[in-house]
């Protein structure tokens, strides 16, 4: 295929790009660049308006999400509910009339939480006897049957842990309570904290939930053990309980009891669910979009990521319902095992093999279906997740997924932004007409790292991390109109990318997880 497209560089474009570069902040936030209508907006106006009207009137997508949440529910890797969801998802695609519906077999880890509890026993001022609002972290080992009773050492940061002597940590439970610095920073205490504490002799770890909202709700999520360190049990506690332990620890020694049955069982066969609208002229070229079908073992996986798979599915389904026939193939994928392993994303990359150049664009929705603002375009590879901080290094905010320095763009890359701003103009009727640098997702990471242009919706992002990985991630959190706006946006962008003459470009990442 031809990746070298003609382009027009206008003073206005450069000014916009430079303004975008200046606006870009570390992390995921960006105010975005406005749409600039061009030839694509003119060519696809009629089709796009049909899609937008149909998407805003469509109730099938939200109805499917409702069924997934209420009748299948939470679906952690290895669970029977996940495999029920996979079978149901494939049926849904077939009923919608998609082609080449299949389940790509993928082996997934099977982590089992089992029963768990925690209690503050005593403080420096005597008995406390307060149950903890806790959730074991995904992939954690359990405690011995009788549990662990130990004194808590509170640390506000990795640096504070590094400054303690092994004698101060040995045999104790480390509590990380760094405050709230955004998900990028806080999630590092969850992923890397257990092994960092274990390296100093801790027997267990508690982590303040990675959220900005204190509603006595613990947030789980995966940890990543360093194989060189002893594996110690680790749990998230509610913000309130983390703060209480911190206050008590300032008064004197605090004893906590922790009991967790968590353990691993043998890997289970699951799979990536996929279906297509086969392209009329270039069937081998693929615009892929989707989200992840697994969730945590709490709540309903409604925002994370039921909303993502159902909005992307309905976006593709609507193109088919309207009888639109894009030149390239549009593929929907429900990736598996995003939450605790990423096996689905890796298996998809393996399936693509040396045909990676035929993946025209990858659009992942895994940030919830809050009110969308526009498209995040991280088409140029780049870091996706921070590496665990090295000993002595502070936890720092990671760069946005696929973030880029706008000033380093090549001519083709600038043309890609022109394309996206042109397409975004079609989204003006639903108010989602901005393009922001930085976008992508974990499941598409293995292909975007190899140069496939990455896209993701940008939303207001007000409450996603209030619900994320908790019992509260339930259907009622997904506003039907916001869901429809996401669906409408995804559908227009996927259709135009699959049908337009030009292509976006990507850049291979030098960074690997
Ligand atoms: Zn997710």
| pLDDT tens, position by position, 139-190 | 999 999 999 999 999 999 999 999 999 999 999 999 999 999 999 899 999 9
Q: Kindly state whether residues 309 and 431 are assigned to the same domain.
A: yes
Torsional class of 276: left (φ above 0), alpha (ψ -120 to 50), beta (otherwise): beta
For residue 306, give the nearest of 71, 27, 138 by alpha carbon.
71
Omega within 30 of 0 (cis) for the link into 305: yes
CA distance 386 to 513: 8
DSSP state of 326: -
Q: Kindly state whether residues 343 and 465 are assigned to the same domain.
A: yes
Q: Kindly state whether residues 61 and 120 are assigned to the same domain.
A: no
What spacing in Å lies between the alpha carbon of 339 and ligand 1's midpoint?
A: 6
Q: Kindly state whether residues 294 and 416 are assigned to the same domain.
A: yes
pLDDT of 424 higher than 70: yes
pLDDT of 258 higher than 60: yes
The mean pLDDT value for 445-464 works out to 93
**Using an 8 Å Cβ cutoff, are 336 and 292 in contact?**
yes
pLDDT of 7 higher than 50: no
Bridge pairing between strands 173-176 and 148-155: parallel
Q: Sorting pLDDT into bands at 50, 70 and 90, what band is 280?
A: very high
Q: Sorting pLDDT into bands at 50, 70 and 90, what band is 390?
A: low
Active site residues: 338
What spacing in Å lies between the alpha carbon of 486 and ligand 1's midpoint?
A: 16
CATH number where 198 lies = 3.50.30.30
CA distance 381 to 453: 7
CA distance 361 to 3: 13
What's the predicted TM-score (pTM) here? 0.91
Q: Sorting pLDDT into bands at 50, 70 and 90, what band is 26?
A: very low
Q: Kindly state whether residues 364 and 486 are assigned to the same domain.
A: yes
Q: Kindly state whether residues 247 and 292 are assigned to the same domain.
A: no
| pLDDT of res. 378 | 82
Q: Kindly state whether residues 165 and 252 are assigned to the same domain.
A: yes
What spacing in Å lies between the alpha carbon of 367 and ligand 1's midpoint?
A: 7
CA distance 467 to 179: 18
Number of domains composing the chain: 2
Helix (H, G, I), strand (E, B) or coil at 353: helix
| pLDDT of res. 4 | 31
Please enumerate in sequence order all residues whose Cβ is within 8 A of that of 272, keeping only pairs 6 or more positions apart, or say none.
103, 104, 106, 333, 334, 335, 336, 344, 347, 348
Judge whether 303 lies within some domain.
yes
| 255-260 sheet: strands from edge to edge | 126-131, 116-123, 255-260, 148-155, 173-176, 204-208, 234-237, 134-136
CATH number where 465 lies = 3.40.630.10
Higher pLDDT, 439 or 121: 121
Q: Kindly state whether residues 329 and 441 are assigned to the same domain.
A: yes
Please enumerate in sequence order all residues whose Cβ is within 8 A of that of 77, keeping only pairs 6 or more positions apart, or say none.
108, 109, 110, 111, 268, 270, 294, 336, 337, 339, 340, 341, 343
Q: Kindly state whether residues 97 and 128 are assigned to the same domain.
A: no
Q: How far apart are the first and last CA of the chain?
A: 29
Judge whether 146 lies within some domain.
yes
Judge whether 401 lies within some domain.
no
What spacing in Å lies between the alpha carbon of 90 and ligand 1's midpoint?
A: 20
| pLDDT of res. 387 | 56
Q: Kindly state whether residues 140 and 252 are assigned to the same domain.
A: yes
> CB burial class (10 A; 0-12, 13-18, 19+) of residue 228?
exposed
Judge whether 289 lies within some domain.
yes
Measured CA distances, 243 to 132, 168, 172, 283, 288 (Å): 12, 21, 18, 56, 44
Bridge pairing between strands 255-260 and 148-155: antiparallel
Judge whether 183 lies within some domain.
yes
Q: Kindly state whether residues 236 and 300 are assigned to the same domain.
A: no
Q: Kindly state whether residues 47 and 84 are assigned to the same domain.
A: yes
Judge whether 16 lies within some domain.
no
Relative orientation angle of helices 307-321 and 480-499, to the nearest 10 degrees: 60
Poorest-pLDDT segment among 242-251, 265-274, 370-379: 370-379
| End residue of a domain, out of 261, 291, 317 | 261
What spacing in Å lies between the alpha carbon of 76 and ligand 1's midpoint?
A: 12
What spacing in Å lies between the alpha carbon of 234 and ligand 1's midpoint?
A: 21
Domain residue limits at 104: 30-109+268-386+411-499
| End residue of a domain, out of 228, 261, 294 | 261
Judge whether 337 lies within some domain.
yes
Please enumerate in sequence order all residues whose Cβ is within 8 A of that of 419, keeping only pairs 6 or more positions apart, or say none.
40, 500, 502, 504
What spacing in Å lies between the alpha carbon of 477 and ligand 1's midpoint?
A: 15
| End residue of a domain, out of 212, 229, 261 | 261
């Amino acid at each position: 295929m031809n990746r070298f497209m003609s382009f027009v560089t206008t003073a206005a474009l450069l000014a916009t790009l430079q303004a975008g570069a200046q606006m870009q902040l570390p992390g995921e936030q960006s105010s975005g660049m406005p749409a600039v209508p061009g030839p694509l907006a003119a060519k696809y106006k009629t089709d796009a308006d049909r899609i937008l009207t149909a998407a805003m009137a469509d109730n099938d997508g939200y109805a499917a999400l409702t069924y997934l949440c209420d009748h299948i529910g939470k679906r952690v890797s290895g669970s029977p509910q996940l495999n029920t969801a996979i079978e149901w998802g494939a049926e849904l695609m077939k009923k919608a009339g998609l082609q080449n519906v299949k389940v790509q077999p993928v082996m997934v880890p099977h982590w089992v939480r089992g029963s768990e509890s925690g209690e503050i026993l005593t403080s420096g001022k005597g008995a406390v006897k307060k149950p903890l609002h806790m959730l074991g972290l995904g992939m954690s080992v359990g405690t011995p049957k009788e549990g662990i009773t130990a004194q808590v050492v509170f640390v506000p940061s990795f640096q504070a842990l590094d400054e303690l002597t092994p004698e101060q940590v040995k045999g104790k439970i480390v509590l990380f309570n760094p405050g709230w610095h955004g998900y990028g920073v806080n999630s590092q205490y969850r992923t890397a904290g257990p092994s960092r504490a274990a390296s100093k002799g801790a027997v267990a770890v508690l982590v303040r939930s990675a959220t900005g909202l204190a509603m006595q709700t613990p947030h789980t999520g995966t940890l990543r053990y360093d194989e060189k360190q002893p594996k110690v049990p680790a749990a998230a506690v509610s913000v309130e309980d983390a703060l209480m332990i911190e206050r008590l620890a300032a008064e004197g020694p605090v004893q906590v009891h922790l009991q967790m049955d968590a353990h691993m069982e043998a890997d289970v066969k699951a799979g990536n669910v996929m279906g297509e609208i086969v392209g009329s002229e270039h069937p081998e070229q693929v615009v892929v979009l989707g989200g992840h079908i697994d969730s945590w073992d709490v709540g309903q996986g409604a925002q994370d990521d039921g909303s993502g798979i159902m909005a992307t599915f309905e976006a593709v389904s609507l193109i088919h319902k309207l009888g639109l026939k894009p030149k390239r193939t549009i593929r929907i994928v429900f990736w598996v095992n995003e939450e605790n392993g990423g096996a689905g994303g890796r298996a998809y990359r393996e399936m693509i093999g040396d045909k990676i150049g035929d993946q025209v664009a990858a659009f992942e929705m895994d940030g919830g279906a809050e009110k969308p603002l526009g498209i995040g375009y991280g088409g140029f590879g780049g870091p996706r997740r921070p590496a665990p901080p090295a000993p002595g290094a502070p936890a720092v905010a990671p760069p946005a997924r696929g973030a880029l320095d706008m000033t380093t763009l090549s001519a083709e890359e600038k043309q890609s932004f022109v394309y996206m701003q042109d397409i975004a103009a079609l989204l003006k009727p639903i108010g989602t007409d901005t393009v922001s640098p930085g976008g992508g997702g974990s499941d598409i990471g293995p292909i975007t790292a190899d140069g496939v242009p990455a896209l993701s919706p940008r939303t207001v992002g007000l409450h996603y991390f209030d619900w994320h990985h908790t019992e509260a991630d339930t259907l009622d959190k997904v506003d039907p109109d916001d869901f429809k706006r996401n669906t409408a946006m995804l559908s227009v962008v996927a259709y135009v990318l699959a049908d337009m003459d030009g292509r976006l470009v990507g850049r291979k990442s030098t960074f690997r997880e």
